[in-house]
């Protein structure tokens, strides 16, 4: 299951439990039910990439495991003359990691520095 699917399914559960609000937009669940889609939730880093900062003191609305990709770079001591470093440099793996999620009401737009 992808992170997007994990986050969507958890968001639906949170909305049904009254933890987060609906978005007002209708959509379909993976099993074909028509529902109101939940409001967006993202991790701290995802909000930051979208240009938002989590407000100081905000507590995550939910924590649940998602997939995290880890790049396993080779150690220099393991690299020999007969090893192709370019092929082996960025081997990685995935594992489940607990992530904290915040809603849009818990973030504010990052102010660009004025020059």
pLDDT band at 71 (very low <50, low <70, confident <90, very high): confident
**pLDDT tens across 94-109, in order?**
999 999 999 999 999 9
DSSP letter, residue 105: G
Classify residue 115: in a domain, yes or no: no
Cβ contact 20:11 at 8 Å: yes
Classify residue 25: in a domain, yes or no: yes
DSSP for 25-80, please give it: EEEE-TTS-EEEEEPPEE-HHHHHHTTEEEPTTPPPSEEEEEEEEEE-PPPGGG--
Q: Would the pLDDT of 12 be above 60?
A: yes
Classify residue 100: in a domain, yes or no: yes
Classify residue 41: in a domain, yes or no: yes
Owning domain of residue 92: 3-109
Work out how many domains the chain is built from and give that number: 1
Classify residue 46: in a domain, yes or no: yes
Strand-pair partners of 94: 69
Classify residue 68: in a domain, yes or no: yes
**Average of pLDDT values for 55-81?**
79
Classify residue 36: in a domain, yes or no: yes
The span from the CA of 90 to the CA of 19, in Å, is 39
Q: Would the pLDDT of 110 be above 50?
A: yes
pLDDT band at 77 (very low <50, low <70, confident <90, very high): very low
The span from the CA of 26 to the CA of 71, in Å, is 38
**Average of pLDDT values for 30-50?**
93
Q: pLDDT exceeding 70 applies to what percent of the chain?
A: 81
Classify residue 51: in a domain, yes or no: yes
The predicted structure's pLDDT at residue 114: 52
The span from the CA of 54 to the CA of 37, in Å, is 22
- Please give the C-alpha separations between residue 98 and each of 28, 43, 59, 68, 101, in angstroms, as whole numbers: 27, 11, 15, 9, 10
């Amino acid at each position: 299951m992808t992170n997007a699917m994990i986050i969507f399914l958890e968001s639906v559960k949170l909305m049904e439990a009254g933890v987060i609000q609906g978005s007002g937009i209708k959509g379909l669940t993976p099993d074909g039910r028509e529902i109101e889609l939940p409001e967006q939730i993202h991790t701290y880093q995802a909000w930051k990439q979208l240009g938002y900062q989590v407000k100081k003191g905000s507590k995550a609305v939910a924590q649940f495991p998602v997939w995290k990709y880890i790049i396993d770079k080779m150690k220099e001591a393991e690299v020999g003359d007969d090893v192709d470093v370019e092929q082996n440099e960025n081997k990685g793996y995935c594992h489940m990691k607990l992530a904290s999620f915040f809603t849009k009401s818990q973030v504010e737009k990052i102010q660009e520095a004025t020059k």
